[in-house]
Structure 1
């Protein structure tokens, strides 16, 4: 039924039956739009559903890999490199991911410490994001419109030795062991891990 409806509206789909799961490109999606509204990156798998690629804050109630149902009306825009993407508000969780989320605070002396951690994570299915470097806070007007130049300065190039990492934990991966091994071979240090907020 859904396939027929989309095709009647001029949207070409692959396959003739079963769930629609294509790649309609990247999109920023706003979680909990009626509350604080966290915008994450996702991949649209059909005209109204997207799979979250980012690692949302645990308090959002969403996880990396969740499939969400989103509105079709743009509420703001985000730029990635030279491209501008419309932000769609998430209406509800459609399918829960198998990933959980934990947060680690680490201390690093240089980029090579994080490069080594990235290499360790590349060998498993879990992965992390450096929230200290890549998260910025926008006023509501900019979040729901087009962020202005002032906010571009919030992603500073200056060095921060203490980093807050969001970690998408794949079932069976031992994140504490990964971080312990990383400490042994680099100058990086784990200051805290917050498994109590895994959900």
Structure 2
């Protein structure tokens, strides 16, 4: 190919990019950068080619091209080439590359050979973002790109308590709790499923403390119970903006409670909860597993 052909290929690649035709943009950029892997502008081309495949959720290709982009990026400067490689390597379970990518970005991660298991704090995650989902839950980050769901998602969300999801690194909204701000990250995919189904029961609780006692009882057994009063319905535009949340949302009275527990255990646990204060506590309704 001549220089003219290269220029036309580059132009066509970014025309496809502007049209959000990620498959065509990625193919053209890769073709160009394979011809000129160490051109002065090649770090940008490698990065954009990998990013196009990230948008396509073609993680194997994003991993392959992302390695080339990161190899041409400056370490310790928070270069996004390392971050995108870290995500792709995590999904591909290439833990050595993931660790190196996070360190190249400038983060500290624990040593080891397998999965990265650390505590990077809590963050809100928007579940099933690619499938049009919009439910935001709290999760504990195990690494820069993976988090374990701490809430009991609604049955409609398609997700479960305790599941591990991979999330994006670009914030898409904000939640404020007690004056502290947390960025919302969109889920990219389900990394590890939970075997605890989500069920819903109707309860009568005399006081908010009774609802807290129910949550504590399930937690003691490794399960979870969460009142539906904690679910705040907002439009997608507001969800992607700044929303203030109140951590203490328990209320007394009749209400729905979402449970994450084996169905065969629910009657036993609910009966134990009622027995501690039968004058204030009751439960009825079908269990939806």
Q: TM-score range by the shorter chain?
A: 0.7 to 0.9
Q: 1:188 aligns with which of 260, 281, 288?
A: 281
Contact 1:40 1:52 in 2 (8 A): yes
Gapped regions of structure 1 (runs ≥ 5): none
2:106 corresponds in structure 1 to 10
Whole-angstrom CA distance in 2 between matches of 1:69 and 1:99: 19
Q: 1:167 aligns with which of 259, 268, 282?
A: 259
Which structure has the higher relative contact order (CA within 8 Å, separation 6+)? Answer: 1
Over residues 65-100 of structure 1, what are the superposed CA-to-partner deviations in whole Å (9 max), with x where a residue is unaligned? 111011111110001212100100101101112322
2:142 corresponds in structure 1 to 45
- Three-state SS of the structure 2 residue aligned to 1:93 is strand
1:76 corresponds in structure 2 to 173
Please report the TM-score for the alignment, with normalisation by the length of structure 2. 0.59
1:140–1:178 CA distance, 2 compared to 1 (3 A): same
Tell me which protein shows more strand as a share of its residues: 1
Please report the TM-score for the alignment, with normalisation by the length of structure 1. 0.84
Whole-angstrom CA distance in 2 between matches of 1:168 and 1:115: 15
Contact 1:126 1:173 in 2 (8 A): no
Runs of 4+ in 1 over 4 A off after TM superposition: none
Query: CA RMSD of the aligned region, Å?
Result: 2.4
1:109 corresponds in structure 2 to 206
Shift of 1:137: 1.0
* Worse overlay, 84-93 or 27-36: 27-36
How do residues 111-150 of structure 1 correspond to structure 2 at under 5 angstroms? Answer: 111-132=208-229, 134-147=230-243
1:156–1:127 CA distance, 2 compared to 1 (3 A): closer
Larger Rg over CA atoms:
2
Whole-angstrom CA distance in 2 between matches of 1:119 and 1:179: 12
- Three-state SS of the structure 2 residue aligned to 1:137 is coil
Whole-angstrom CA distance in 1 between matches of 2:236 and 2:199: 27
